[in-house]
Structure 1
Amino acid sequence: MKYSFVIPCYRSEKTLGKVIDEIQAKMSEMNHQDYEIILINDCSPDNTWGTIRNLCSKNENIIGINHAKNFGQHAALMAGFHFVSGDIVICLDDDGQTPANEVDKLLAKVIDEDYDVAYAEYAHKQHSGFRNWGSHVNKVMTEVMLGKPKELYISSYFAAKRYIVDEMLNYKGAYPYVIGLVLRTTRNICNVEVNHRERTEGASGYNFKKLLGLWMNGFTSFSILPLRIASYGGSAIAFIGFIYALYVIIRKIVAPTEYLGWSSTMAVLLILGGLILLVLGLIGEYVGRIFISINNSPQYVIKNIINYDSVENKN
């Protein structure tokens, strides 16, 4: 059985070598020599691509992929998936926070217990407060929008059977969202508790803008629930407006000389105007993404590939 490690890389010139060393040591300890490591440089501004080239020159089983521009972590994963040849695919981070030396726990769930996907779950997360908040919002979003079971913990460290990855590759949209692709393919998913390390170098690449974009990808690509919520909300506001109109008419009949407030009228107009703009923006987001998909916008653009021919010929 062959294993494929897929690692999106961004600002990891100082940590990537340690992650590779740890993978190699663990595979040697498990007596598994048939594996490959796919490193995707997502147009990192530091010397990450130089580090990847150096690693590839020393190891024929390491494939280096260089993006022409930054497409994001999920697009980088999709790029790596196109080059895997293993029976089990393992995805992890490039910063060393996800322990590669505990990959046997994930593999045991997928191989021995026949789960399709095994996600790492952390008892004590070492992320910053902002990143933990973002993870919580993402958790709620996937539960509400994508139907993720509440007891299931989703992380960037997971192992999946090859057929799951092959099915995910059928998605050709410009905005891939790996969690959504997994959940729409299978529900035979489990968690495995592993340690989560402190970050030794740099900071998380996820800021508020990137997290917001990730959430938008999640619910606009895999759910129409926001549109339904907008429809229900609009219906509810319309009903309330109708009741209020009846109240105004009856009040005018009962007390014709009473002056009705201008401020309350403006408040209603502002609320309705804001709601209309919100719904129009939401519809525009869906339409815009449809337009981009019709124009065949790429998920990623690969500038360079290292060692792929040698790995392909070796297999």
Structure 2
Amino acid sequence: MTRASAPEQSGHHTGKPMLSLVVPVLNEADAIREFVRSVDAAIEAAWNGASDTPDLEIIFVDDGSSDPTATVVRALRKNDARIKLISLSRNFGKEAALSAGLHAASGDAAIPMDVDLQDPPDMLRPMVEAWKNGAKVVNARRADRSADSWFKRTSSRVFYRMMNLISDQPIADDVGDFRLLDRDALEVLNDMTEHTRFNKGLFSWIGFETATVEYVRPDRNVGQTKWKPLKLLSLAFDGITSSTTLPLRVWTLIGALIAIGAIGYAGWLIFYTLVHGADVPGYASLMVAILLLGGLNLISLGLIGEYLGRVAVQVRGRPLYIIASTEGL
């Protein structure tokens, strides 16, 4: 049984906390220096050297970059001990890279962030204040997503609505990975062993007292998004299969309805034949029935295959990611 550590009696965090910023990166050499500068500027502007200014560690997780991303991080590390680097042996995907960073985080709270500054560092102070007021998880909700493309906004809206209709635990609308996770919540997440990771679903599933802050999502600062339509579709399938078994269970209902209809139709055919005799014509209706049932069978088999494939990945027991090297950890 997984248990969170005992919370503080007061339920509030006081004094000078330690924050772990977890930043997965893939071919982001041009964005790293600006990200660190922006974080420092936001911390200085928000706390202005106050005694409760949080200590930071910035954990960059290099997810198999082919550009000098790791070299840039190492150069910054020479003069900044807060910066740490995890280099994965190859590209494992953002969900795995984020999990690697969360496992390595040593702070009182961890905050996953994108290096492109679409997760604005000036939201750190509101998130920390909500955390100090007792929240174990602080979601950063995108109040305005006009910076995203029409396709991304629309597909995201459809996905969240569909997920919340069928998932066992609803996912907060317009909340990405950008959020604050208390150490108690982080320990529970790190104990989870599933290989097919859909972190947004896991963040919602663990529960805990949750607060929400809103922000306007800015334009991407540097580089281009690594999320292509096929990758987003794959992530959507991972989210559905890891959050609910309803797509499997619904076929029991569909099968029952078809069986009831088939029994009723068979009874009608017997009655019709007894009264009117055999009626040879019927090719069209026969083909419609065969094609309909064949199509439904293929869809149901495909869904079963999606779940079975993920079960096969899980039972192999391979690691979620492989760390080639770490620096500063």
TM-score of the two chains, using structure 1 as the length reference: 0.90
Work out which of the residue numbers 36, 39, 42 in structure 2 matches 1:23. Answer: 39
**CA distance in 2 between partners of 1:306 and 1:227 (Å):** 44
1:191 is aligned with what amino acid? T
- 1:57 to partner: Cα distance: 2.6
1:8 and 1:93 in contact (8 A); partners too: yes
Q: Deviation digits for residues 214-257 of structure 1, max 9, x if unmatched?
A: 12222222321111112222222222222232333333334325
Task: Say yes or no: does 1:182 pair with 2:199.
Answer: no
Aligned position for 1:86: 107
**CA distance in 1 between partners of 2:95 and 2:61 (Å):** 11
1:98 and 1:195 in contact (8 A); partners too: no
SS of the aligned residue for 1:96 comes to coil
SS of the aligned residue for 2:61 comes to strand
1:152 and 1:190 in contact (8 A); partners too: no
**CA distance in 1 between partners of 2:291 and 2:203 (Å):** 41
List gaps (5 residues or longer) in structure 2: 1-16
Aligned position for 2:138: 118
Residue 109 and residue 265 in structure 1: after superposition, are their counterparts in 2 closer, same or farther (change >3 A)?
Answer: same
- 1:70 to partner: Cα distance: 1.6
2:177 and 2:200 in contact (8 A); partners too: no
**CA distance in 2 between partners of 1:8 and 1:78 (Å):** 9
Task: Say yes or no: does 1:5 pair with 2:21.
Answer: yes
2:140 is aligned with what amino acid? A
Residue 35 and residue 201 in structure 1: after superposition, are their counterparts in 2 closer, same or farther (change >3 A)?
Answer: closer
Residue 110 and residue 138 in structure 1: after superposition, are their counterparts in 2 closer, same or farther (change >3 A)?
Answer: farther
Aligned position for 1:312: none
Q: Percent identity?
A: 29
Aligned position for 2:232: 211
**CA distance in 2 between partners of 1:267 and 1:146 (Å):** 33
Q: Which range moves more in the overlay, 240-249 or 116-125?
A: 240-249
2:170 and 2:204 in contact (8 A); partners too: no
Q: Deviation digits for residues 254-289 of structure 1, max 9, x if unmatched?
A: 432533321221121111112112222222222222
List gaps (5 residues or longer) in structure 1: 309-315
Aligned position for 2:7: none
Aligned position for 2:129: 108
2:61 and 2:100 in contact (8 A); partners too: yes
Pairing of 1:125-140 with structure 2 (within 5 A): 125=145, 126-140=147-161
Task: Say yes or no: does 1:14 pair with 2:46.
Answer: no
**CA distance in 1 between partners of 2:79 and 2:156 (Å):** 36
TM-score of the two chains, using structure 2 as the length reference: 0.86
Q: Which range moves more in the overlay, 250-259 or 76-85?
A: 250-259
Aligned position for 1:64: 85
Q: Deviation digits for residues 60-93 of structure 1, max 9, x if unmatched?
A: 1111111122222111111001111111111111
Work out which of the residue numbers 60, 73, 80 in structure 1 matches 2:94. Answer: 73
Pairing of 1:160-199 with structure 2 (within 5 A): 160-186=181-207, 188-199=209-220
CA RMSD of aligned residues (A): 2.0
Aligned position for 1:280: 301
Aligned position for 1:47: 68
Work out which of the residue numbers 299, 313, 316 in structure 2 matches 1:295. Answer: 316
